[in-house]
A and B are shown apart, each in its own frame.
Chain A
Amino acid sequence: MNLDFTPEEVAFRNEVREFIRENYPKELEGMGTREDLTREQFLAWHKVLGKKGWSAPSWPEKYGGTGWTSTQKYIWSEENARVDALMPLPFGVSMVGPVIYTFGNEEQKERHLPGILSGDVWWCQGYSEPGAGSDLASLKTTAVRDGDHYVINGQKTWTTLAQHADWIFILCRTDPNAKKPQEGISFILADMKTPGIEVKPIKLIDGTHEVNETWLTDVRVPVENLVGVENEGWTYAKFLLAHERSGIAGVARSKRGVERLRNIATNELVDGEPLLEQPEFARKVSQLEIDLTALEFTELRTLASEAAGKGPGPESSILKVKGTEIQQRLTELTLEAVGYYGAPYAYGMEADGNNDFGVGPDHSNYAAETYFNMRKTSIYGGSNEIQRNIISKMILGL
């Protein structure tokens, strides 16, 4: 056991740092925690990485992954977090991509993987329904075989950034008579331009348009868009969720967030003294950082065991629960730190070409909006209560 970087790893870190410094889009600087970006802004860094071949480090090399070791991947996320880089969105790279290269056929791999890697094709996730949240397997959207098409009807919800999406992956019920709800579900891909798909915005408490309702009315999708075997979709759905969870810890980004919090709390004054020197506040920051260290080393241990040949397993649920708790506490403390300047509403108020809308110190912008937005993290990706159910069942055997 040791924590040392080899000379090769140090060289790799320097190479990565240099590449980010030279290529990270200038117009994205300081935008990494914002929710109100354009499609072009969301994809700008992804496209640069796609050209470089670095957009999907966790994929197998034969499908376009980087072949990096877990230490290299750790370095990669650390270096990106240093500049608050806006990383490729998870829907293609972390979710549908691994499902396609693991369970899809050759034609599907050839057709879909390049667009995911390059950032040219934007995917969205058709999982949740109004009546199927934590109980995802109770989903009601149906796909009925009609010649060489499936006809899909139903309603999906919480479809993140579907307003920008080119394609959607949909969990559909293909066997209404299956004995268990988990059986009879299929994993189907659909072009968002297909007639019958309608996206309606849902406005969230932070005022942003991040999620949508996706209505599916007589959507005709060719049968070749079925991934894997009909009625086996639940297996792929669970596989996808485990992949989604493993990147969800957000350690490097939270470390950067703690650094930012320390700077804010150094500049905010209480009786003329830095807030960070108030023992009550300082110890909350320390506790957060200590808990983040525990998460970091838990993730490193998980990565090490994955490198030893095990895929993301139920252990990734720990990373999801603890990672999101820390992200939430971080935004909570940041809001606490900025005091009453958390109140002015910042989205849409800034002058043209200027991130700062000129009310209060810059560091207070979006503190409340981000805090409100981050409450989503313990709800999405399988709520933290569902993650506990998974650990209870899969690891404790209860």
Chain B
Amino acid sequence: MDFNFTEEQTMIRDSLARLIREQYDFETRRKVVASESGWRPEMWAQFAELGLLMAPFSEEDGGLGGGPIDAMVVMEEFGKGLVVEPYLPSVVCGGGFLKRGSDAQKEEYLSGVMSGEMIFAFAYAEPKGRYNLADLETTAKKDGSGFVLNGHKAVVIGAPWATHFIVTARTSGDRRDKNGVTVFVVAKDADGVSTRDYPTVDGRRASEVYFENVSVGAEAVIGEVDNGLPLVELVSDEAIAALCAEACGAMKVAHAMTVDYSRQRKQFGVPIGKFQVLQHRMVDMFMEYEQSISMTYMATLKLDEDEVTRKKAASAAKVRIGQGGRFVGQEAVQIHGGMGMTDELAVGHYFKRITMIDSEFGNVDHHLKRYTDLSSADMAAAAE
């Protein structure tokens, strides 16, 4: 067992932290979020220059030989800086699918992800599917050697900035069947693809994405036709681990801001941080944060274990971070008092980001149920 970071990982953390400190202060972020495009492509280019976009990929694939721990380091720093650029959708999700794709797909797309020239978004959610990754109304019907896609994907984070989508669609079976799910890569400018773009409450951009008779070739399929769900679950678990890391970064800052504020804000003639009732609440926030970090490490380190262990680990982390994040976020606002409610202070923006993380890739209830179902399946298997 080893809980140390490699030199490369420490370097990534330090250089990214410096970049964010120097070029991603809260006021700058506010302007970017309010701007027309809502992001800075030039920032993305700097992330590429730092090697962040290549970090989690193997050297054979042209990456820097890292893995999920490198992505975790990046996402934690993103969380601290409330960075809006689409590392999770493009590098963790897009890259996560593509590195398991064909050689041709790696050559055509993964290199684009790593250079930063291509931006991917992951179109998995649907208006009526909630958190069930197999509950798909989007269809891909066989048409000659290729497929024709029809459907509506919901709240696709980063889609307005994307050049390509990873799309899940049903190629056979009934609406919620585990079999019959297939993963496609689709260019955003393909005929029949349209989007309705909007800002999210936490400063990012997303789209409703519509596919209307979109034709793709057989080479657009990532993995196996009809048997894409295991891959979708795997990449989603990787995304969960990365999201947890982002949440930890945001929780750390929200907590630090709160402790700091409690030292400065005076009421009844003393700093409010002198009140034990607030001290203990800030300690509880601290303990939630520490345990969230522990769970993030745990889930990240178990991504390469067997399927049940990996899924349980990801769900356990998502449950704990959902609960801890809610507590830290709400208490950060509460202890800031009225100031915590203002748009002017950063703390409310951290609260908003932490809150929205819970609903990405399944919330607390979803993952508590998933964990429970996996545990009973585990026990039944052990009993046989």
Interface residues of A (CB under 8 A from B): 1-5, 70-71, 74, 262, 266, 276-277, 279, 282-283, 285-287, 289-291, 293-298, 300-301, 304-305, 315, 318, 321-322, 385, 388-389, 391-392, 395-398
Q: Does B268 touch A at the CB level, under 8 Å?
A: no
Q: Is the CB of A276 within 8 A of B316?
A: no
Q: How far is B367's CA from A286's CA once the two chains are assembled, in angstroms?
A: 10
Q: Is the CB of A286 within 8 A of B375?
A: yes
Give the residues in chain B near A301, CB-CB below 8 Å.
Answer: 3, 293-294, 297
What would be 18 A-B contacts, judged by CB atoms less than 8 Å apart? A1-B2, A1-B301, A3-B301, A279-B372, A282-B375, A282-B376, A283-B369, A289-B375, A297-B297, A298-B290, A301-B3, A305-B3, A321-B287, A388-B279, A392-B276, A392-B279, A392-B282, A398-B274
Interface residues of B (CB under 8 A from A): 1-5, 69, 259, 262-263, 273-274, 276, 279-280, 282-284, 286-287, 290-295, 297-298, 300-302, 316, 319-320, 368-369, 371-372, 375-376, 379
**SS of A interface (majority):** helix
Q: Is the CB of B286 within 8 A of A276?
A: no
Q: How far is B3's CA from A294's CA once the two chains are assembled, in angstroms?
A: 15
Q: How far is B342's CA from A217's CA once the two chains are assembled, in angstroms?
A: 64
CB proximity of A300 to chain B, nearest CB, Å:
7
Give the residues in chain A near B1, CB-CB below 8 Å.
Answer: 2-5, 70-71, 74, 300, 304
CB proximity of B175 to chain A, nearest CB, Å:
24
Q: Is the CB of A1 within 8 A of B5?
A: yes
CB proximity of A355 to chain B, nearest CB, Å:
25
Q: How far is B2's CA from A5's CA once the two chains are assembled, in angstroms?
A: 9
CB proximity of B231 to chain A, nearest CB, Å:
24
Give the residues in chain A near B369, CB-CB below 8 Å.
Answer: 279, 283
Given pairs A2-B2, A296-B294, A298-B294, 9 additional interface contacts (CB within 8 A): A5-B1, A276-B379, A286-B372, A287-B368, A293-B298, A294-B292, A304-B1, A321-B287, A395-B286
Q: Is the CB of B4 within 8 A of A283?
A: no
Q: Select from chain A the residue with minimum beta-carbon distance to B298.
A: A297
Give the residues in chain B near A298, CB-CB below 8 Å.
Answer: 290-291, 294
Top-7 shortest CB links A-B: A297-B294, A294-B291, A304-B3, A392-B279, A298-B294, A388-B283, A290-B316
Give the residues in chain B near A296, CB-CB below 8 Å.
Answer: 294
CB proximity of A10 to chain B, nearest CB, Å:
12
Q: How far is B237's CA from A192's CA once the two chains are assembled, in angstroms?
A: 59
Give the residues in chain A near B283, CB-CB below 8 Å.
Answer: 388, 391-392, 396
Q: How far is B4's CA from A70's CA once the two chains are assembled, in angstroms?
A: 13
CB proximity of B378 to chain A, nearest CB, Å:
10
Give the residues in chain A near B3, CB-CB below 8 Å.
Answer: 1, 300-301, 304-305
Q: How far is B375's CA from A277's CA once the two chains are assembled, in angstroms?
A: 11
Q: Is the CB of B262 within 8 A of A297?
A: no
Q: Select from chain B the residue with minimum beta-carbon distance to A299.
A: B294
Q: How far is B296's CA from A364's CA once the two chains are assembled, in angstroms?
A: 36
Q: In the complex, which of the residues A2, A290, A391 has the most CB atoms of chain B within 10 Å of its own CB atom? A: A290
Q: Select from chain B the residue with minimum beta-carbon distance to A286.
A: B372
Contact A396:B320 (CB < 8 A) given known A1-B4, A277-B376: no
Give the residues in chain A near B295, CB-CB below 8 Å.
Answer: 293-294, 297
CB proximity of A378 to chain B, nearest CB, Å:
14
CB proximity of B247 to chain A, nearest CB, Å:
14
Contact A266:B379 (CB < 8 A) given known A290-B371, A389-B276: yes
Q: Is the CB of A283 within 8 A of B368?
A: yes
Give the residues in chain B near A391, CB-CB below 8 Å.
Answer: 283, 286-287
Q: How far is B301's CA from A293's CA once the two chains are assembled, in angstroms?
A: 13
Q: Is the CB of B302 within 8 A of A3?
A: yes
CB proximity of A78 to chain B, nearest CB, Å:
12
Q: Is the CB of A398 within 8 A of B263?
A: yes
Give the residues in chain B near A74, CB-CB below 8 Å.
Answer: 1
Q: How far is B120's CA from A285's CA once the two chains are assembled, in angstroms?
A: 39
Q: Select from chain B the residue with minimum beta-carbon distance to A276.
A: B376
Give the residues in chain B near A2, CB-CB below 8 Å.
Answer: 1-2, 301
Give the residues in chain B near A295, CB-CB below 8 Å.
Answer: 291, 294
Q: Select from chain A the residue with minimum beta-carbon distance to B302.
A: A3
Give the residues in chain A near B284, CB-CB below 8 Å.
Answer: 388
Q: Is the CB of B372 within 8 A of A293?
A: no
Give the residues in chain B near A277, CB-CB below 8 Å.
Answer: 376
CB proximity of B27 to chain A, nearest CB, Å:
27
CB proximity of A391 to chain B, nearest CB, Å:
5
Q: How far is B259's CA from A305's CA once the two chains are assembled, in angstroms?
A: 24
Partner of A1, one of B280, B287, B294, B297: B297
Q: Select from chain A the residue with minimum beta-carbon distance to B316.
A: A290
Give the residues in chain A near B316, CB-CB below 8 Å.
Answer: 289-290, 293-294
Q: In the complex, which of the residues B1, B295, B298 has the most CB atoms of chain A within 10 Å of its own CB atom? A: B1
Q: In the complex, which of the residues B259, B279, B297, B372 has the most CB atoms of chain A within 10 Å of its own CB atom? A: B372
Q: Select from chain A the residue with minimum beta-carbon distance to B315.
A: A290
